[in-house]
Amino acid sequence: AQSVTQLDSQVPVFEEAPVELRCNYSSSVSVYLFWYVQYPNQGLQLLLKYLSGSTLVKGINGFEAEFNKSQTSFHLRKPSVHISDTAEYFCAVSDPKTSYDKVIFGPGTSLSVIP
Amino acid sequence: SQTIHQWPATLVQPVGSPLSLECTVEGTSNPNLYWYRQAAGRGLQLLFYSVGIGQISSEVPQNLSASRPQDRQFILSSKKLLLSDSGFYLCAWSALGGLPGAFFGQGTRLTVV
């Protein structure tokens, strides 16, 4: 079964500094990959997704992620963070062969942007 | 455009009481529907998914049940709540046969006391 690892449970970073949130998944077969953001007491919002094609995916709010098949990774990056980026970030994976979006989520990384 | 509504936003219930959380989707037909739970400090756990009316699949054994009485309505229920049922419950939908990626409601914060 698929699993997702987010190595960092908490990431503090100063405002305007770059950030990378790490994500690894378990299977080397074809997958769909996602990053979601959750602000306090809210639902999840899709930041970006990788389905196929270019390994560098650009999303909303200036985030991007790079798919690395050999390392089974999908790290999320932003060159300069803002206070408003403080939130919980979830990496997720789903199997293209299933008939529904059985999305498996990682445990989440809490990003805290320090003024 | 598609929207998903989930209510109530917060709920405090005593142990042993029943539960009913409702989720509806607008602007799409025949969606896949999901219930997730997010316990404090933990990630999201898929509880149930549904690919059609009356079709419910459970991912984990638990004190909860789900029903889909209409195409765009998904209900999470319990006959008797346990303290361990406390958490943040999220409903989500995705398009059958469409681009993958689920869209989430705003969630319900359930506290069982």
Q: In this model, does residue A86 exceed pLDDT 90?
A: yes
Pairing relation of β-strands A109-114 and A10-14? parallel
β-partners of residue B16 are none
Residue B74, φ and ψ in degrees, nearest 5: -135, 125
Q: In this model, does residue A2 exceed pLDDT 90?
A: no
CB contact under 8 A, A101 and B34: yes
For residue B21 the two structure tokens come to 């959380």
Which of A43, A49, A51 lies nearest to residue B105, judging by beta carbons? A43
Q: Could you report the per-residue pLDDT of B2-43, keeping only the tens digit for each?
A: 889 999 999 999 999 999 999 999 998 889 999 999 877 667
- CB atoms near residue B82 (< 10 Å): 13
d(C-alpha B45, C-alpha A40), whole Å: 18
CB contact under 8 A, B6 and A43: yes
* Cα three-residue angle A113-A89-B87, rounded to 5 degrees: 110
- pLDDT the model gives residue B47: 92
CA distance A70 to chain B (A): 23
* Cα three-residue angle A9-A10-A13, rounded to 5 degrees: 150
Q: Could you report the per-residue pLDDT of B57-70, keeping only the tens digit for each?
A: 988 777 899 999 99
- Residue in chain B closest to A93 (alpha carbons) equals B101
| Cβ atoms of residues B13 and B110 within 8 Å | yes
Q: Could you report the per-residue pLDDT of B85-112, keeping only the tens digit for each?
A: 999 999 999 886 666 678 899 999 999 9
pLDDT band at B72 (very low <50, low <70, confident <90, very high): very high
Q: Does B24 touch chain A (CB under 8 A)?
A: no
CB contact under 8 A, B104 and A94: no
Q: In this model, does residue A92 exceed pLDDT 80?
A: yes
* Cα three-residue angle A99-A105-A107, rounded to 5 degrees: 170
More confident residue, A99 or A31: A31
